[in-house]
Every structure is written in structure tokens, then in C-alpha cells.
Amino acid sequence: MTSHTPAQASLPGPCGPCPPEANPSRPLSDRPTPFSLALRPAPLPRWVFLHEKAYQVRDTAIESSVVTKVKGFGRYANRVMDVSDYVTPPQGTSVFVIITKMIVTENQMQGFCPESEDKYHCVSDSQCGPERFPGGGILTGRCVNYSSVLRTCETQGWCPTEVDTVEMPVMMEAENFTIFIKNSIRFPLFNFEKGNLLPNLTAADMKTCRFHPDKAPFCPILRVGDVVKFAGQDFAKLASTGGVLGIKIGWVCDLDKAWDQCIPKYSFTRLDGVSEKSSISPGYNFRTRTLHLESQTAMTVVISSPVTFRTRTQASLEYHLIDIPNGLERGVAPPPLPLEEEDREEPRSKPSEASPFLPSHPMKGR
């Protein structure tokens, strides 16, 4: 009778027949461990799990606030302009406007007056009917004298009507105004919070620093002209027609790394680029009226060409909460394939219990 030596795969173990890799009689140092299996050349899912940090949990439910403050003085139409004159709204929100050009029509009152625009030129009342698109008020249907040589359609509304075609200079001092941005972020999942006023900033720095992407990337004080330049725009042109600029503060924080590596990154762009290319209506403007308290009837209207700034925050936070052995067992990555005889590793010493992929101490700042 021929005797058969039992196959190595059928050696008894605590749970019945065990594969060679799980054979309890095999020395521990000669058996692959979860760590050695994960670190040897392996199929793509395991490579993704470790190299691409699939064991991390990501929190994108950001809580954020932005507070702004503009400083600087300008001169316009023989007047010195301060922040209350050229910034709106004054509360220092994440969206604010710096007025760089104005067309002022003073002492308007309710009444009847001739239209000021050439398109309302007329020679008879029949040319001033209700089918005409209204301008500064409601057309009355009469053709009246605008001057000794020109007649225009009469309107009822605020008189005299606005003249918005006149060329006005730009307040060039606005190029040197400064914008102070105070941004704070919080990730509720990890109770992690931080702000763009980094600990190494001093009071002296705040008085002298100006943001620069290379020389001073963490200074929270930005020069208006620099923001326009970083967005790829020309200040004189933008201030003349108006436009919308975006300031993005990006935070990509990885709590596998040091706390002080969670830092803001600023970027700039023009948000109304399509409007910039339009020959019909480049840029934008808006109107404001001021009631004269002494008369309660006279008004001053201001047509403003502003540069609008929209500040927004974009952030994500990553932190590992799944330890690797359990992650492998739970199916985050497939179990290791049995090793062929020629692929088996040389015996190695037993790894320490502490995983090199997990932090040995709580993350600073949490």
C-alpha cells in the first residue's frame, strides 16, 4: 500500500484545515503579515488604499466666515473721498464695492423737463408718443425746446434728467487702497478650526506687509492694484467700465500632516469675463439717490462705475480614522493572494505593534 504524505494545505489548525500562510506551526517571522502583504507589489486596489490614502475620511461641510475692511483716501472732483464715500455696503461683508468713477446730477426735483439724450430729438409731438422707450421718466407726448437749436421729447420725473454719456476721470488713488481680509474656517466633523491670521504674524507685520504670492503669501492685507493685476486685468480700464473680481481663499488640510501645514492659498480671477468682451455693455454701473434733508424734495443722483470684490472660501479636511489591518479585513481592499513559493519573502522580525501609518499622538490643534 502506498502511503501519502498529507498536503501542506491540509495541516490542522485551530479552525480546521489552514492554508500555508495561516499554519500556526509555521514560525511567525516566516508568515506574511497584513503590513508586509500591503507593502509588497500588489494589485491596484491595495495600491490605491495605501498610496492614494483611501483610508482617510474627508470633511467638506465647512463653516466659514469672511470679514473685510478697506482703507485709503482718494480725490475726486476736487473732493477728498474716504471709505464711507466710495465703499458699499459699509458693513465689511465678503462682497463689497469700491466706486472708482461717478457721474453726478445734483439738485433734481420732480417736474417736467426735456430729455437730455440725442435719441429723443424731435420736430413734432407725433414723434414723442407712448411707443417711444422711456428714458429719465414718463414721456408726456410733447416735443419741447431743449436749447435754442435743439428740441427733444418732454418727460415727467426727476429733473433735470441725467447726462450719462459725459466722460469722467477715474479715481486712480483707488489702485493703492488696501483690503484687509479676515477669514475663519471650521470643520464640525473633527471640531477643527483655523484662520488666515497665522500665529507667526505680528502687529508690526500687519502695519507693513502687503500680500504677494511669493514674497508674502500669508499676509492678509491686499493692495487693490495687485488684486487687479493678479486677476490679469488693467486697473485703468477696469476702474473706468466697472467689473467683478473674485478672491478665493483655498484651504486643503490633511491632519496626517503637521497642524501648521494647514495654510490658506489665495487666487484671483475676473468673474464677469463675458461682460468684459461685450461691445454693447462692457462692465457695469448702478445708480444711487440722496435726498436733501433741508428741502425734502431735491435729490442728487450718482451713476457709479464700481469694482466689485467677491471673496469666497473653499476648503476640505482629510483625516485617517480607519486603521489599515481592520480596513483590509472589512473589504476596503481585497485580501492578499496566497504567495507562490518563489514569491515568498525572506524571514523578517516581528513588526512592532504601533502602525507606521497611524499617528503616535493626537494632532496638535484638534
The DSSP line for 276-319 is: HT-SSS-S--EEEEEE-TTTSS-EEEEEEEEEEEEEEEEEEEEE
Q: Enter the C-alpha cell of residue 150.
A: 435743439
Enclosing H/E stretch for 69: strand 63-71
**Closest residue by Cα to residue 355 from 317, 319, 322, 330:** 322
Enclosing H/E stretch for 182: strand 178-187
Q: What is the pLDDT of residues 47-92, one digit of tens each?
A: 444 444 444 556 556 788 899 999 999 998 888 999 988 888 887 8
Q: What is the pLDDT of residues 261-282, one digit of tens each?
A: 888 999 999 988 777 777 777 7
Residue 348 CA to its chain's centroid (Å): 51
Q: Domains of the chain (ranges plus CATH)?
A: 60-108+181-292+301-319 (2.60.490.10)
Q: What is the pLDDT of residues 225-264, one digit of tens each?
A: 999 999 999 999 998 888 899 999 998 887 777 778 888 9
Q: How far apart are CA 153 and CA 121, in angstroms?
A: 7
Of 102-111, 126-135, 286-295, which has the strongest mean pLDDT?
102-111
Q: How far apart are CA 162 and CA 108, in angstroms?
A: 9
Q: How far apart are CA 230 and CA 213, in angstroms?
A: 9
Other Cβ atoms less than 10 A from the Cβ of 124: the count is 9
- pTM (2 decimals)? 0.66
